[in-house]
Amino acid sequence: MDKQIHQIYHVARCGSTLMTSLLSTVYQAYSEPSWSASFLLGIDPYKNMESFYGSVVKFPSLTSCFETNFPGNKVFLYRPLAQHLCKIKSVDPLWIENRLRKTDYILKKYNHPAINWIPKDKLDRVTYVWLCSVFRMLDSSNVLWITTNSFLEDKKETLKLVCNHFNIPEVTDFSLCDVNVKKSGLNGKDIPVIDTFYQSKDIEYTFPSYGLIETKMALYDPDIQRRVEEIENLFPQLKDYLY
């Protein structure tokens, strides 16, 4: 068996479940299986990975904050910081609270050495996680970087790149493109994503450009503009990833 995992890392709420779902039409793909959260639970992540060799695995977003050495090629799906903050400011506050608890753990035990900055409030902590993910991915190798907008604007072309990077068959079935995958309960299951789809009774469709966020729109929020400018001043090397 191929002792590799085709890995998808991401910054959360950025289209990674949709990408995994589309890949699942041609290949065995899992979306945040229980084992993949090992880092966050303090469990040896390499202990249970054998059964996932040869598959595509989308990891929980916070996993990208850790130094990972799983064998295989990686995709990093991300929104530039301005777009990311705009998206996160619009999601359910309970989801953010739950995420922030885990953020403290990363900050205390797994801070990336390039980040010499202490977040002051909730949105700063969201920014911190984004920074951590970007720095870890910059450290990593065999990573295909994809922005959410480029994926959502041209899903076919992006999936072609991803399949080529993973050396798996090309996706040809794009009928899931406009499905609101977040409402289909795909994450956290230990069975392939496509099997969960087959078990779903109701599939909700959304509008085709769902998920696209323009940087210009995000920067109309003065709070976001201020924070992104602050990060640009602190980490000028990340300028290309911010807007």
Report if residue 154 touches another protein, rule: CB under 8 A: no
> Which residue in 189, 210, 232, 243 binds another protein (CB under 8 A)?
210
- Closest to another protein by CB, 157 vs 195, is 157
Please state, in angstroms and rounded to a whole number, the distance separating the CA atoms of residues 99 and 107.
Answer: 12
C-alpha to C-alpha distance for 37 and 190, rounded to whole angstroms: 12
Residue 170 interacts with another protein (CB under 8 A)?
no
- Give Cα 52 distance to the centre of its chain: 19
Q: What does the block give as tokens for 232?
A: 């640009």
Q: Of 90, 116, 141, 233, which one interacts with another protein (CB under 8 A)?
A: 90
Distance CA 17, CA 54 (A): 19
Q: Does 201 contact another protein by CB under 8 A?
A: no
Region near another protein per CB under 8 A, out of 3-11, 57-65, 185-193, 207-215: 207-215
Minimum CB distance to another protein smaller for 64 or for 149: 149
Burial class (CB in 10 A: 0-12, 13-18, 19+), 19: buried
Minimum Å gap between C-beta 108 and another protein is 30
**Binding region for another protein (CB under 8 A) out of 19-27, 66-74, 85-93, 157-165:** 85-93
CB of 200 to another protein, least distance (A): 16
Instruction: Candidates 43, 156, 195, 205: give the one binding another protein (CB under 8 A).
Output: 205
**Alpha-carbon span 110 to 65, nearest angstrom:** 8
Find the radius of gyration of the CA atoms of the chain. Answer: 17
